[in-house]
Amino acid sequence: MIQNPILHGFNPDASIIRTGDDYYIATSTFEWYPGVLIYHSQDLIHWQPVARPLDRPDLLDLKGIPSSGGVWAPSLSYDNGLYYLCYTNVVGRRGVFKDLHNYVVTAPAIEGPWSEPIHLNSSGFDHFLFHDTDGRKWLFNMQWDFRKNHNRFSGIIMQEFDLKQRKLVGPIKQVTQGTALGVTEGPMVYQKNGYYYLLVAEGGTGINHAATLLRSRTIDGPYEVDPEYPFMTSAELPNYPLQKAGHGSLVETQHGEWYMAHISSRPLQDGSRLSPLGRETSLQRVIWTEDDWLRLADGGRLPSLSVEPPKLAPYPFPAEPEREDFNTEQLSIHWNSLRIPVEKSWLSLSERPGYLRLYGQESLYSWHRQSLLARRLQSLECEISICVEFEPESFTQMAGLVLFYDETDHFYLRISHDEHHGKHAAVIMNQGGIYDESEDIAVINGWVRCYLKAVICQEKIQFYYSPDGERWNVIGPELYSGVLADEYMNKLSFTGAFAGVCVQDLQGTNRHADFDYFEYRIFEKDLI
């Protein structure tokens, strides 16, 4: 069976396609670099990350963009030997405005190389490129309206895209204003049985999220709404294990079976409805009715926890190693940096072979140049441990293990130096933008190597330190993992929790730390 979610941890806005026997899913990455993460499967059960397309500044410049800005809702498509990747870069989201720019790039293979970006428009996000059977191409996106007394989500618009001219051409037309659910976004377009189908996300990306289908005999409408909309949502059952179900995309198998990839989230078990793992990707089997509407194969509107797989041979991938020893010249595909690409100016795997060397830059509050490397948390039953060598000379120099949502919400077990304790370890806590320091100080003068660990058990987080990686000592208070969730203190954010290593040097001398390994061990792979 397909067990949901299929992509654990922060993997929202899945755009799924098939080319031959290969299935690909592209997911949003927001302020994390490289931009867009693409997964591969041949059986819809097993998935493996294979590509990070937006890996250079000419494709994606994230410096200075706000948290939960950056890459929103990429969409994949394929036509005439080329993969097309549409993506948005949201550079401002303050107040009523959305400053954003929409691009498309192409590649002959999913691994690249990807072309120079073509700027499409800046009118709204969630754009999707549809390749019609007559050879014409149409761009769909939601329209953002900042004006007073206007609906911010003012409908789905379309315009023709001319690949030869590398630009949009012709009139802009609104094809729907959505339904009473509101917040209509995420348009995906498909063609079947003489209809053009428009699949949209509605209700917002939170607990009222939903997927709605519309259809038309012509590409530009008018589009009629499914009389039984929405055809998927978990809003009706707040205690269901998969929440926030919506923002879907469709794929047809080689044997004519249909599936929908979609957003979902797994809340904490404490009743808070907070989801530190962020919005994940699930997969539903769907069927077409006699009157040509789409329904969940298991009936009803709720996304299923397990789904009947397609008639395809199993295609498993090797298990991922729990420990990264930094013994190769390249980082694993699971690693992400914040807003800036990995560069020799702040990261090296060769200066001290077998170690990851990071040169300290700006603070964890910075939107510009951070020396931070992190991976998604994929389970709330796990432990993360590192070994670090660092010799700070001032309280302005820090290095260690971080559990990070964004600059306002993170926990940091860091090594530093001050005039009272000398070299020491302590926990920094940022909750709702309020900075605090634990009074529990571990003096580690004379320690060349220091081992740091975080243990996460659902809503509880505890940090530890050790001189040898065997004798562990508790440090700092028990912390609440809900701080690392989108909805903590009702903020409007869209990513998920990361675990990583980082270095800061606020004196500007770029003092470095060496990390011997990073181990991420999951206790329980399926929390449902």
**Identity of the amino acid at 213:** L
Active centre residues (catalytic): 13, 185
Beta strands (DSSP E) in 193-236 are: 195-202, 210-216, 224-225, 232-233
- Tokens matching residue 316: 């498993």
Four-point Cα dihedral 253, 254, 257, 259, nearest 10? 0
Sorted by sequence, the CB contacts under 8 Å of residue 422 that are 6+ apart come out as 443, 445
Sorted by sequence, the CB contacts under 8 Å of residue 140 that are 6+ apart come out as 127, 128, 130, 156, 157, 158, 175, 187, 189, 198
Beta bridge partners of 19: 22
> How far is the C-alpha of 66 from the C-alpha of 322, rounded, in Å?
32
Write down the residue that tokens 């709702």 correspond to.
432
CA neighbours within 13 Å on the CB side: how many for 113? 3
> How far is the C-alpha of 184 from the C-alpha of 225, rounded, in Å?
13
The candidate with the shortest Cα–Cα distance to 7, out of 252, 260, 264, is 264
CA 527 vs. chain centroid, Å, equals 19
- Give Cα separations from 188 to 23, 185, 191, 286 (angstroms): 17, 9, 11, 16
DSSP label of 151: -
Sheet containing strand 22-27, edge to edge, reads: 15-19, 22-27, 37-41, 48-51
> SS3 for 134?
coil
- Give Cα separations from 118 to 5, 43, 101, 202 (angstroms): 33, 33, 10, 28
Q: What φ, ψ does residue 482 adopt, rounded to 5°?
A: -60, -20
Sorted by sequence, the CB contacts under 8 Å of residue 53 that are 6+ apart come out as 34, 35, 36, 38, 59, 85, 105, 107, 112, 114
